[in-house]
Structures are given as C-alpha cells and as structure tokens.
Chain A
Amino acid sequence: QVQLVESGGGVVQPGRSLRVSCAVSGFTFSSYGLHWVRQAPDKGLEWVAFIWFDGSHTYYADSVKGRFTISRDNSKNTLYLQMNSLRVEDTALYYCARVVVTTTEPYFDYWGQGTLVTVSS
C-alpha cells in the first residue's frame, strides 16, 4: 500500500540547518509530484513547497523562499527538504503529501504522519 514516512526532525538552534526526508513506497515515485506542508503547534496548515514529478519545477511559499530547498531522488524514492537559516517560527510538524494529478492543484491523496522540527535556543 501507499506509504509516506517522514524523518529527520529534531531540535535545532535558530540560524542552523536541518534536512528532513520523506521515504515513499507502494507507488511509482517518479510519476507523482510531492509537496511539503507544515503545521505549527495548535495552528493551521501552511503550504511550504512543491516539486514536479520529474523535479523540473519547484515552488516555494514566500515565508521559506531562499532558505528552504525541496528536492527528490527518484532512484531512492525519497523526497527532501533542506532547511537553512532556521527561525523560531519554522517550528512545526512537517508533512509530505502526494498529489494525484500532474498539475499545481493541491490535490493530495496521501499524507505522511509528519516529522516535528523544533527551532529553539
């Protein structure tokens, strides 16, 4: 069955870097676009970034543009989010989500369980 499993979260100091991963199984990874969506504690959902199925296009929320990089390794069935210059306000549960169609629509049919990133001194 389709599975998305995030990892790599933890506690990091402001200004430092962290990379979180999303390992997928149960479907042809290279055929689907993938997003990162985050949720701060007791807050709503916030979209972070999107990568096309073949990695040819990437999109970012203004709040992370220039600091975060989304990438994928289709040979390892893994999605990444490299987070640099982390801020306290980046503290959140980070979800990866698969999109059903090859468009920019937020048509997420599968989500991971999330990995918690805490930015604190």
Chain B
Amino acid sequence: QSVLTQPPSASGTPGQRVTISCSGSSSNIGSNYVYWYQQLPGTAPKLLIYRNNQRPSGVPDRFSGSKSGTSASLAISGLRSEDEADYYCTAWDDSLSGVVFGGGTRLTVL
C-alpha cells in the first residue's frame, strides 16, 4: 500500500486530454513539493514535472502539473501514442523523514 494514492490505470485516445490524480496527506503533499516521473517500458524513470508545476527543459508543454491541499494532478493534453507509459507522483514526507511514491498509473493510448 503506497503512501500516495494514484489510480492504477488511465486511458485516452490520441488528441484527448487525460488527468492522473495523486492523493496524499498533510505530511507529504500538503507541506512539500510534488514531482512527477514518466517511466517508459524497460527504461529508468524520467523527470516530467518538478516543484508541483514546473517543466524541465525538453518536456513538452502538453504536460502540466498542479497541486491543491493534499492532492496533486498531472494533465496530459493532445495525447500521443508515445505517452503510453507508467506515471509516478512523489514527495518528501516529513513524518516518515523519507521519500514517498504513488503506486503508479499505467497510461494506455487507445
């Protein structure tokens, strides 16, 4: 059971907009930055969103992040086949004094 809660799966058709939620608590999302990572099959995770809503250079602006209270979300607009991957949210947890991850969401592009 992960400390951060994500839906196990999400799907959409090319061109659609999908959102992936991430629910936590006051000790993690509620008081710290949220990060999102994308993991393509057979590869290491890649930073997608940092500090709640910032995109590293090279990440398309189709990807956006937001945070409100103890929840965060990742939105992907203009869905493309290459977006098919696993997506993880993560944050520091002050109570655990450690990093916590969501269980991951597998995105399928239909």
Name A's B-contacting residues (CB within 8 A).
35, 37, 44-47, 50, 59-62, 95, 100, 104-109, 111-114
In the assembled complex, B12 has its CB within 8 A of some CB on chain A: no
Q: Report chain B residues within 8 Å CB of A35.
A: 99
Contact partner, A111, options B45, B86, B100, Cβ 8 Å:
B45
Number of cross-chain contacts by CB at 8 Å: 63
Q: Report chain A residues within 8 Å CB of B45.
A: 37, 45, 95, 108, 111
Q: Report chain A residues within 8 Å CB of B51.
A: 105, 107
Q: Report chain A residues within 8 Å CB of B86.
A: 44
In the assembled complex, B76 has its CB within 8 A of some CB on chain A: no
Bound complex: CA A79 to CA B84 (Å) = 32
Bound complex: CA A108 to CA B45 (Å) = 9
Chain B 32-72, CB within 8 Å of chain A: the 1/0 string? 11010101000011110011000010000000000000000
Contact partner, B98, options A59, A100, A114, Cβ 8 Å:
A59
In the assembled complex, B21 has its CB within 8 A of some CB on chain A: no
Decide if B104 touches A105 in the complex (CB within 8 Å): no
Decide if A111 touches B44 in the complex (CB within 8 Å): yes
